[in-house]
Chains A and B, each alone.
Chain A
């Protein structure tokens, strides 16, 4: 037996993948796996091989519904991507979104995981907190229960008034135009992190689809959130101060990670 095999119980890992160990040996292997990335990778490989032997089970929509219910039940908000992915530099640290505090480690805490997520989540958490705080301020100012732009027709006049106040105060406005020059929407960019998506002439989307607003200032588009199906006159969105170039696309309900290329409806720059 080589030194490597003495160090890593590869044979036992293989038997463990088949659930063929005796209980006491199983516990020992699990204890080793907990601290050994090499053996965990070995196990992953065996499990992937075994998964190829049997066809996938049909994962039903009922099971998916139970997953979403489970997440909601433990306090995880089923947030639409309205406040997702809005990183921008220089934002002072603020609290994590309150809905997601439960069950999550604090940013920077030991064992927070791979760098790829640590790097990308923290800016979002900062701006999401800022956007949430800004939303709270606006809500308080308006004296309404909450602010969700796609919902509540009775709230629209207030949001529209706030948006108009921002325009009157000289905040930058981006006019989003189609490739043939038709202005279909405007985005008001304030210095609080809360912006306003104002529909001028957007066609109403069919059921199951939504418009999604994007910031295009960086190397890759960043979602500023979904903004409804075109029937909501004014929607509050999280727009980082200083945002200039934006676009709106038509996506499936819930939004996309990146804009679908042939579904970008209009774009424009704030001025």
Chain B
């Protein structure tokens, strides 16, 4: 019946944040700050900007906890969504410029193999690597290029010689398959 902060649910802690409990916010930062920071770093590709995004996310949570609705889902996905949006906003112009600069390299015929090697050498947990390789090739390649290779879907379509619409739909089905594969490999949500 009685629970400490460390045992409280995320939803309870958000309510406590609404009642000005900095301890509750700190506990939420302890639980989810690392995931928010990792996502922000992937989006911004800059550790300082990633911290800036993370700071904004938790400041926003403090300022407007009522914006989180537990009936819509867990807190972590909601925080990640906030971080994604903030990160995209932060690097929007730089990202477009970078993609234009990388366009020629993106069309290299060896890029797929290079990205495969990135997955092999990246600091991924073994179970994550196994989950990625569980994906059928038609889904794995677009995801590797777009996520690990930082290519737009348009570049990906050109590299794979596929219609753009096909690449988009394979990315979506690939993400669904990836979720299942991560479940199979026991990678925590």
Interface residues of A (CB under 8 A from B): 10-15, 17-23, 26, 30, 37, 40-41, 43-59, 63-64, 66-68, 70-71, 74, 76-81, 83-85, 97, 100, 103-105, 112-114, 116-118, 120-121, 124, 220-221, 251-252, 254-261, 264
Contact = CB atoms under 8 A, between A and B. Distances in A.
Contacts of A58: 34, 37
Given A37-B72, A56-B37, A49 B178 contact: yes
A21 B25 CA distance: 34
A30 B51 CA distance: 23
A105 B63 CA distance: 10
A167 B88 CA distance: 60
Nearest to B168: A11
Given A67-B55, A113-B67, A51 B38 contact: yes
B66 A47 contact: no
A77 B20 contact: yes
23 contacts: A11-B169, A12-B168, A30-B88, A43-B81, A43-B84, A44-B81, A54-B128, A55-B123, A56-B38, A59-B54, A63-B33, A63-B51, A84-B19, A103-B64, A113-B66, A117-B18, A117-B65, A118-B66, A124-B18, A254-B22, A256-B5, A257-B3, A257-B5
Contact of A84 (B16, B72, B88): B16
Given A47-B77, A57-B34, A57-B41, 20 more contacts: A14-B168, A19-B43, A20-B152, A44-B73, A49-B182, A54-B38, A54-B128, A57-B38, A58-B37, A64-B33, A66-B55, A67-B55, A81-B16, A100-B20, A112-B66, A114-B70, A116-B11, A254-B26, A257-B8, A257-B21
Most buried by B among A12, A15, A84, A261: A15
Contacts of A11: 165, 168-169, 171-172
Interface of B: 1-5, 8, 11-16, 18-26, 29-30, 33-39, 41-43, 50-51, 54-55, 58-59, 62-74, 76-78, 80-81, 84-85, 88, 92, 95-96, 123-125, 128, 132, 143, 146-147, 150-154, 156, 165, 168-169, 171-172, 175, 178-179, 182, 187-189
Contacts of B55: 63, 66-67, 70
Given A11-B169, A59-B29, A59-B54, A71 B59 contact: yes
Given A20-B146, A20-B152, A120 B18 contact: yes
B133 to A, nearest CB: 13
Contacts of B38: 51, 54-57
Contacts of A76: 62-63
Nearest to A80: B22
B66 A121 contact: yes
B19 A14 contact: no
B24 A44 contact: no
Contacts of A113: 64, 66-69
B21 A84 contact: yes
Nearest to A261: B2
A259 B58 CA distance: 25
B88 to A, nearest CB: 7
Contact of B8 (A49, A258, A264): A258
B23 A81 contact: yes
B41 A116 contact: no
A75 to B, nearest CB: 10
B181 to A, nearest CB: 10
